[in-house]
Amino acid sequence: MDLRRWFPTLYTQSKDTPVRSRDATLYLLRCVFLMGVRKPPAKFFVAYVLWSFALNFCSTFYQPIGFLTGYISHLSEFSPGEFLTSLQVAFNAWSCSTKVLIVWALVKRFDEANNILDEMDRRITDPGERLQVHRAVSLSNRIFFFFMAVYMVYATNTFLSAIFIGRPPYQNYYPFLDWRSSTLHLALQAGLEYFAMAGACFQDVCVDCYPVNFILVLRAHMSIFAERLRRLGTYPSESQEQRYERLVECIQDHKVILRFVDCLRPVISGTIFVQFLVVGLVLGFTLINIVLFANLGSAIAALSFMAAVLLETTPFCILCNYLTEDCYKLADALFQSNWIDEEKRYQKTLMYFLQKLQQPITFMAMNVFPISVGTNISVTKFSFSVFTLVKQMNIAEKLAKSEMEE
């Protein structure tokens, strides 16, 4: 199969190819459409509505309820490892459903952001600049497929390891199904749980990867913008008025960048805040399960789950730190331009613009946490606190002892 033919934006286009920054989210937005959160197309209205209902009923709405109801109904029947496997996913499922609802409510902002990227593309004329954007587009799409692979590997690993021992993966509650009664009921429940979890993983990829996709291509544009600032006043053939007009154009370019960031800020703020709230607990339960209870199959599934959880916040937090550095580089680039011998009007405008550039672009999680590597490390370290607490209280030994007595 020729992957370049079927997935052209996975590969870096030539420098002569026109720039399309919106292609950085091409596969992401196709999957967002398949999440069932878009306006139904007229041609496939009924099919899309039915698919949206099936996926979101199973994965977004019922799955968190199924976890909770399963604990209430059959808590005594869980082994410690099975309970932790279910609990670690339950917290993540609740957070995933919340993030899906946030994206559902604000999904139009993705289209608005792509329209702003089109404005940025119109300013790119140099072949080297086009190549830089093409590289960001291909990297963005490859990262999306990497996320999808990691998340789906977890869902499939958990399903297969559970089937191997003759139990459903999470033992959720489904009316009229008792997996203990027959092989048919076991197969039906395992299939339903796998469909719901695969759907949730599919949704989770979209709601976790979109900040990375958008910010990667933004960083490419900011790098190009920095070079544009550095070249200000270096063309000897330009008149003073033409140089001033170039400066004003750069100010407008900066406003477009800020508009792009403001467009995405409400979506990013909500989804990352939800993830920050649960990541420590989820990783803590996963560590306890791996170290104290998991067999080989469930340990592999738990490790893939841990990798998926770390992907939910870590890459974007790293990009936020890089984005802050990019902003400082913009200010340095403007200061390094040829402005000392310019007229007073040019110098005053440049100084005002320089002050604006020195204000870094930052994202906040609901105005509570700054989204950065430092915050990500802090919330992740909470998992070790959870693990230490369980060890000190001997909860694991008590659970294992109660299981042996039964």
For each of the chain's 406 residues, which pLDDT tens digit applies? 577 788 889 899 988 899 999 999 999 999 999 999 998 998 899 999 999 999 999 899 988 888 888 777 776 666 666 677 677 778 888 889 999 999 999 999 999 999 999 999 999 989 999 999 999 999 999 999 999 998 898 888 888 887 888 888 877 888 878 888 888 888 888 888 899 989 999 999 999 999 999 999 999 999 999 999 999 888 888 888 999 999 999 999 999 999 999 999 999 999 999 998 888 888 887 877 777 766 676 777 778 778 888 888 899 999 999 999 999 999 999 999 888 888 899 999 999 999 999 999 999 999 888 999 999 998 888 877 777 776 666 655 555 555 445 5
Q: Is residue 192 part of a domain?
A: no
The predicted structure's pLDDT at residue 75: 66
Counted domains in the chain: 1
The predicted structure's pLDDT at residue 290: 79
Neighbours of 139 (CB within 10 A): 18
Domain hosting 340: range is 21-147+200-403
The predicted structure's pLDDT at residue 129: 92
The predicted structure's pLDDT at residue 356: 92
Q: Is residue 77 part of a domain?
A: yes
Q: Is residue 2 part of a domain?
A: no
The predicted structure's pLDDT at residue 398: 55
Distances (CA, A) of 123 to 243, 248, 250, 267: 17, 14, 10, 27
How many angstroms separate the CA atoms of 24 and 9, rounded?
A: 8
How many angstroms separate the CA atoms of 151 and 304, rounded?
A: 8
Q: Is residue 367 part of a domain?
A: yes
Q: Is residue 13 part of a domain?
A: no
Q: Is residue 11 part of a domain?
A: no
The predicted structure's pLDDT at residue 318: 95
How many angstroms separate the CA atoms of 403 and 95, rounded?
A: 30
Q: Is residue 179 part of a domain?
A: no
Q: Is residue 397 part of a domain?
A: yes
